[in-house]
Amino acid sequence: MSFKLPKLPYLYEDLEPYIDRKTMDIHYNKHHATYTNNLNNSISNTNMLNFSIKEILERVHVESSIIRNNSGGFYNHNLFWEILIPHIKYTHPSPDFLEIIQKNFNSFESFKDNFSKVAANHFGSGWTWLCVKEEKLTICSTANQDNPIMFGMGCEGIPILGLDVWEHAYYLQYQNRRLDYISSFWNIVNWIKVEENYKEAMKK
């Protein structure tokens, strides 16, 4: 199996003013493309050649750091692009999904505050996740290109929403203002896709 860089569901400039065109271009064509190419190269002579990306992620703790980093980078960015949407098409959580969020975090604003704090306080490069774990929603964070599907992360579950807090995701536009980047993120979340991810996770 050869993994392919997915086609973005929008143009690079469509996420402006919250994520600028140049950042999107570099993030997608340089960073994500490199993870994709390196993943294919790193598994080319292994028994993972015919594995799905989730099968690779579930066992990378016993494999090389190269496979771990690049499989995570490939998967994490795939999910990230899918849960973003141009702000002119902004969606809100459906009443049913909003009720689920409120049940787990007391309120939608409380959820956003909790998620934002975890993202802001994450030291260095990494990701912040909204996951389904044992039919509940949880928020956690991982370093580098790790994710909750990997074993022993201390952040287990099925990710349904993720925020990239590597500097390459925001530094051209926001410099060191990670808080501003996190705040902007909420204007371009595709809640329809997040709810679809939730429903899929609940089937497993």
Task: For 2-57, write each residue's pLDDT tens digit.
Answer: 899 999 999 999 999 999 999 999 999 999 999 999 999 999 988 899 999 999 99
**CA–CA dist 58, 76 (Å, integer):** 14
Please name the residue that has the structure tokens 């400039």. Answer: 13
Neighbours of 126 (CB within 10 A): 21
Residue 3 inside a domain? The answer is no
**What 3-state class would DSSP assign to 8?**
coil
Residue 9 inside a domain? The answer is no
**CA–CA dist 33, 35 (Å, integer):** 5
Query: pTM for this structure?
Result: 0.96
Residue 7 inside a domain? The answer is no
Which CATH number is 202's domain given? 3.55.40.20
Residue 101 inside a domain? The answer is yes
Phi-psi region of 189 (alpha: psi -120 to 50; beta: other; left: phi over 0): beta
Residue 6 inside a domain? The answer is no
Contact (CB, 8 A) for 131 and 177: no
**Residue 57 neighbours by CB under 8 Å, 6+ apart:** 71, 72, 75, 147, 149, 150
Residue 15 inside a domain? The answer is no
Residue 168, domain extent: 20-204
Phi-psi region of 25 (alpha: psi -120 to 50; beta: other; left: phi over 0): alpha
Residue 31 inside a domain? The answer is yes
pLDDT digits (tens, 9 = 90+) for 139-185: 999 999 999 999 988 899 999 999 999 999 999 999 999 999 999 99
pLDDT digits (tens, 9 = 90+) for 140-150: 999 999 999 99
Residue 168 inside a domain? The answer is yes
**What 3-state class would DSSP assign to 5?**
coil
Contact (CB, 8 A) for 134 and 158: no
Comparing C-alpha atoms, which of 65, 60, 5 is closest to residue 35?
5
Query: Residue 195 — pLDDT band, cuts 50, 70, 90?
Result: very high
Give the chain's domain count. Answer: 1
